[in-house]
Amino acid sequence: MKNLRRKTLAAASVVTLGVGLAAIGGLAPAAAAGPETTFLVLAPQGGKTDKAAARVAAANGTVVASYDQIGVLVVRSTNPNFATAVAGAGVDAVASTAGLGTALDEGETVEVSAAEVAEATGDPTKEPMYAQQWDMDMIHVPQAHKVNAGSPNVVVGVLDSGISSTHPDLATQIAKDKSVSCIGGVTDTTEASWNPTTSDHGTHVAGTIAAAVNGVGVTGIAPGVKVAAVKVVNNDGYIFPEAAVCGFMWAADHGFQLTNNSYYIDPWELNCRNDARQRPVWQAVQRAIRYSQSKGVLNIASAGNSNYDLAHKITDTGSPNNGTPENRENLTNACLDLPAEAPGVVTVSAVGPTGEKSYYSSYGQGVIEVTAPGGDSRVRTQGVRSTSTDAILSTTFNTTTRTNGWGYKQGTSMSGPHATGVAALALSAHPDMTPGQLSSFLERTAVAKPCPAGVYNPVPLWPGNPHGYDATCSGGNRNGFYGFGMVDAYNVVK
């Protein structure tokens, strides 16, 4: 069994008060004794947070966000002994999130030049660049659009690095009144706060889901639905647990039906519930996910780009991704990729233009629910070199020139939004589905794909690493590479 190779998904503000989310002032903290640090403080599940808030104040901490619905407080303190001081009656767990920021690996964005955009002729969707969107034909998007292109009553939360509100393919697609920044675990609804600053990842994801059919650029899978930017990646390219908790809670309390999550939480790709440092993060995120599900939200997440068998976790030698990697051995299935492996979350693997598992895509029998196009720029050359047009074409935002455009990215970060877009079409056609029913419907309507025989390796000519992407698939109608199969846009609306 190979070790886990770290390849991430490709992948303070004005406080506004949302439903059940308030900015609360604690007692004035004592003179600073150390750097300001953020903590997650968990009250007993189902209980009130008042006792925990009182202990926070007594320990010289300040509550900056209170998620009373799930008993989680986001706290800042300069007290170097805060974690010890806050412990006691009314506090179930506490953890500093310092050092727990997970780097979002942008991967490479290959931009389409202005000349190429001008020369594009489009068809059959009337979008000029549709001919380069091989992924849309693969999941039968044109056929689906003849039946149902999506309802504006469906809102998809894109928990990511922000969405460009000026992009010509997205400007009409964004639910601005439901968009927010969750950086730091608190909310900021100003438009500038949820626009991209240092990353176009979220803009690319949003285009796959809902780019407009407007005679410009590309088409999204569900152009009739709305996307909401929920910015959880900070300007340094990191997502912290408190931002993810905020994102799930915001989606729950603002009428979202779906969220797309092309990241993982915690710089260790595997969050271990039996690890004292990581357990409070697991608990807080799990509470937020469960709450969102209770409010009618289906969360969809990318499986990861480590070519790792998530069903057989043995070692992790490449984490954390924000510092010096450590060697963790004898891991068990108590260690999970969050949010992808949280109960009730739909986990998506990636395929390339041949329809076979992308060389990088993680997998796992019983873990992967469905698969979708994520791109594979190496498959045609068996690993020798990259072909950018075999990645996924979508909307982009150049953070250097501050200009909108279109370009290619690949990763399970790209396959996830394909599944999310199909789910959005399904909800548009069947608006009364619960999250559980919708998840099951995606599985039942997926097109089954069998395991390849023997050891699978689509890139045997990769220079210097011919066996680096070997993988073995197991299972039958539901298997480790493809789950129940390829999502199908037409099947969910016909």
Among this protein's residues, is 428 annotated catalytic? no
**Edge-first strand listing for the sheet containing 110-111:** 110-111, 403-409, 392-398
Residue 122 has a pLDDT of 61
Among this protein's residues, is 137 annotated catalytic? no
β-partners of residue 230 are 159, 180
Percent of the chain as helix, strand, coil, to the nearest 5: 25, 20, 55
Q: Answer whether the bond into residue 431 is a cis peptide, omega within 30°.
A: no
Q: Give CA–CA dist 347/369, Å, rounded.
A: 5
Among this protein's residues, is 201 annotated catalytic? yes
Res. 330 pLDDT band, cuts 50 70 90? low
Residue 126 has a pLDDT of 77
Which residue in the list 160, 266, 316, 337 is annotated as catalytic?
Answer: 160
Residue 12 has a pLDDT of 29
Res. 50 pLDDT band, cuts 50 70 90? very high
DSSP letters, 395-445, are EEEETTTTEEEEEEE-SHHHHHHHHHHHHHHHHHHSTT--HHHHHHHHHHH
Looking at residue 137, the DSSP 8-state letter turns out to be H
Res. 23 pLDDT band, cuts 50 70 90? very low
Residue 8 has a pLDDT of 37
Taking all residues of the chain, what is their mean pLDDT, rounded to a whole number?
Answer: 88
Token pair of 358 as six digits: 């992308």
Tell me the pLDDT tens digit for each residue of 277-329. Answer: 778 888 999 999 999 999 999 999 999 998 999 998 766 665 555 556 566 66
Query: Strands 346-351 and 298-302: what pairing?
Result: parallel
Query: Strands 93-96 and 102-103: what pairing?
Result: unpaired
How wide is the angle at C-alpha 387 spanned by C-alphas 347 and 398, nearest 5°? 75
Q: Give CA–CA dist 455/332, Å, rounded.
A: 24
Query: Strands 298-302 and 403-409: what pairing?
Result: unpaired
Which residue in the list 413, 415, 428, 439 is annotated as catalytic?
Answer: 413
Q: Answer whether the bond into residue 373 is a cis peptide, omega within 30°.
A: no
Residue 125 CA to its chain's centroid (Å): 28
Is the model's pLDDT at 480 over the cut of 70? yes
Looking at residue 142, the DSSP 8-state letter turns out to be H
Cβ neighbourhood burial of 418 (10 Å; 0-12, 13-18, 19+)? buried
**Is there a contact between 399 and 46 (Cβ–Cβ < 8 Å)?**
no
Q: Give CA–CA dist 289/275, Å, rounded.
A: 20
457-493 as b/e: b if 16+ CB within 10 A: bbbeebeeeeeebebbbebeebbbbbbbbbbbbbbbb
Tell me the pLDDT tens digit for each residue of 148-194. Answer: 999 999 999 999 999 999 999 999 999 999 999 999 999 999 999 99
Q: Which domains does the chain have, with CATH numbers?
A: 21-100 (3.30.70), 103-493 (3.40.50.200)
Tokens 């490479």 belong to residue: 108
Token pair of 203 as six digits: 């803009």
Token pair of 137 as six digits: 């034909």
Which residue in the list 201, 204, 254, 418 is annotated as catalytic?
Answer: 201
Biggest distance spanned by C-alpha atoms of the chain: 67
Token pair of 299 as six digits: 């969360």
Cβ neighbourhood burial of 440 (10 Å; 0-12, 13-18, 19+)? middle
Query: Is the model more confident about 29 or about 7?
Result: 29
Residue 174 has a pLDDT of 98
β-partners of residue 479 are 475, 483
Q: Give CA–CA dist 454/230, Å, rounded.
A: 42
List the single range of 70-84, 90-104, 241-255, 435-449 with lowest mean pLDDT.
90-104
Residue 238 has a pLDDT of 84
β-partners of residue 79 are none
Q: Give CA–CA dist 193/233, Å, rounded.
A: 11
Amino acid at 387: T
* Alpha-carbon separation of residue 364 from 37, 220, 421 (angstroms): 37, 28, 23
432: which residues sit within 8 A by CB, 6+ positions away? none
Share of the chain above pLDDT 90, in %: 73
Amino acid at 308: Y
**Is there a contact between 406 and 392 (Cβ–Cβ < 8 Å)?**
no
Q: Give CA–CA dist 169/227, Å, rounded.
A: 12
Is the model's pLDDT at 489 over the cut of 50? yes
pTM of the model: 0.90
List the single range of 26-40, 124-138, 340-354 with lowest mean pLDDT.
26-40
